[in-house]
């Protein structure tokens, strides 16, 4: 008969099954956390680094950049979407952000040319080659770890998407 493993945590010693009852999580979760050497009462989230457009950021940072909800980005990552889809704007009917939010984000996040597509012809100098679009009004921005990105205010190639 296999020996029942006991875990001592915060001064209490219990079996994995008992800890699972106390913490109201599956025993497998307790076992995984214990084996990973992390606190058994805290959900562990792996730091996901997403690469897109030559930049690498965490979900939190992408959320600040795009205005998308972090849980939305995380769900899209979990669904296995490609980066350009993960970071694309939320369709209008699902958008939960207030209108005020749009003043904090670059015009690109509402533009269908932000995601180049050989099928629809969507795209622009910026989304394809990271070159300024002639005639745009944009400002170099530095936010958290984001360096050298543009915040676009006006753009002759903007198309609501």
Q: How far is the CB of 77 from ligand SF4 (least distance, A)?
A: 22
Q: How far is the CB of 19 from ligand SF4 (least distance, A)?
A: 50
Residue 146 · residue 61 · CB < 8 Å:
yes
Which residue number, 19 or 126, has a Cβ lying nearer to ligand SF4?
Answer: 126
CA-only gyration radius of the chain, Å: 22
Token readout for 69 is 């909800």
Sequence-ordered strand ranges (E) for 4-154: 6-9, 12-15, 49-52, 55-58, 137-143, 146-154
Residue 106 · residue 118 · CB < 8 Å:
no
Q: How far is the CB of 119 from ligand SF4 (least distance, A)?
A: 17
Which residue number, 87 or 111, has a Cβ lying nearer to ligand SF4?
Answer: 111
Residue 16 · residue 7 · CB < 8 Å:
yes
Which residue number, 19 or 109, has a Cβ lying nearer to ligand SF4?
Answer: 109
Q: How far is the CB of 23 from ligand SF4 (least distance, A)?
A: 46
- The DSSP 8-state label assigned to residue 134 in this structure reads T
Which residue number, 73 or 155, has a Cβ lying nearer to ligand SF4?
Answer: 155
What is the Cβ-side half-sphere exposure of residue 125, based on CA atoms within 13 angstroms? Answer: 11
Q: How far is the CB of 32 from ligand SF4 (least distance, A)?
A: 42
β partners of residue 9: 12
Which residue number, 54 or 80, has a Cβ lying nearer to ligand SF4?
Answer: 54
Interacting residues toward ligand SF4 by CB under 6 A: 107-108, 111, 113-114, 124, 126-127, 133, 136, 152, 155, 157-158
């Amino acid at each position: 008969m296999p020996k029942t493993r006991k875990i001592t945590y915060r001064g209490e010693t219990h079996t994995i099954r008992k800890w699972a009852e106390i913490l109201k999580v599956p025993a497998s979760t307790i076992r995984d956390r214990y084996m990973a050497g992390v606190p058994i009462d805290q959900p562990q989230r792996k730091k996901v680094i997403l690469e897109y457009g030559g930049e690498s950021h965490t979900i939190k940072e992408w959320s600040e950049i795009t205005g998308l909800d972090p849980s939305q980005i995380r769900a899209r990552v979990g669904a296995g979407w490609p980066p350009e889809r993960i970071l694309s704007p939320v369709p209008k009917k699902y958008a939960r952000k207030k209108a005020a939010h749009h003043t904090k984000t670059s015009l690109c996040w509402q533009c269908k040319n932000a995601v180049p597509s050989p099928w629809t012809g969507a795209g622009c100098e910026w989304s394809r080659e990271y070159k300024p679009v002639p005639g745009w009004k944009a400002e170099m921005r530095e936010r958290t770890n984001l360096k050298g990105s543009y915040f676009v205010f006006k753009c002759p190639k903007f198309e609501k998407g």
